[in-house]
Structures are given as structure tokens and as C-alpha cells.
Amino acid sequence: MLYQVVMDVKIPRDLPEDERTQVLAREKAYSQDLQRQGKWRHIWRVAGQYANISIFDVQDNAELHQILSGLPLFPFMEIKVTPLLRHPSAIRDDDS
């Protein structure tokens, strides 16, 4: 199943610099591992915001929840999820 996920990142200003550096490094590794697995299909920065729009391709709601709640930045994010399906007017054979 495909999902659009909007992640709005709100890291507290008073988070110590070393913790911030570590959590961002863990987040990057976690994200890139899921991208290599094909589960995190797209990630786009929203211009002018510390936010991204991502597309996930996972089995079901439970898998998406497991992935999102495991994000190292999860405690510092507002997340909005929208389930997606193919549009009947789409001309591509796949959903790339």
C-alpha cells in the first residue's frame, strides 16, 4: 500500500548540540536503510520549511506505524498520513 507522509520537524531549541547531531545521524541512517529496502520510496524537502513529503510503500497500516514510530526524530515530529491509490486517469503502467 502507498502512503503520503508529511513530517514536520520541531527539534527543541534547547536540545544539546551533541544529542541533536546524534539523532540526525541516526535518522539519516534509518531513512536511507528503508529507502534501500524500497519501503521509503520518495523523500522531498518542502521548500522553506523543516519538513518533508515522503511516499512509503508498505504492507499495511501496522507496518507504516511501526516504521514511523521507530524514526529517531519521531518525538520531535508532527506527522500526517494520507493513504494513496492509483488514479483511474493515470497513464503510467507503474506508480514511479
51-57 vs 77-84, strand pairing mode: unpaired
Using the minimum distance from each CB to ligand MUC, give the nearer residue, 7 or 58.
7
Binds ligand MUC by CB under 6 A, chosen from 2, 52, 57, 76 = 52
Tell which positions 55-94 bind ligand MUC, by CB under 6 A: 73
Of residues 47, 50, 38, 44, the one with CA closest to residue 2: 38
Q: Does residue 34 belong to the site contacting ligand MUC (CB under 6 A)?
A: no
| Closest distance of CB 29 from ligand MUC, Å | 8
- Residue 38, SS3 per DSSP: coil
List all residues 6 or more positions away from 1 whose beta carbon is below 8 Å from its beta carbon.
57, 58, 59, 60, 61, 64, 83
| Closest distance of CB 84 from ligand MUC, Å | 19
Q: Site residues (CB under 6 A) for ligand MUC?
A: 7, 9, 27-28, 31, 52, 73
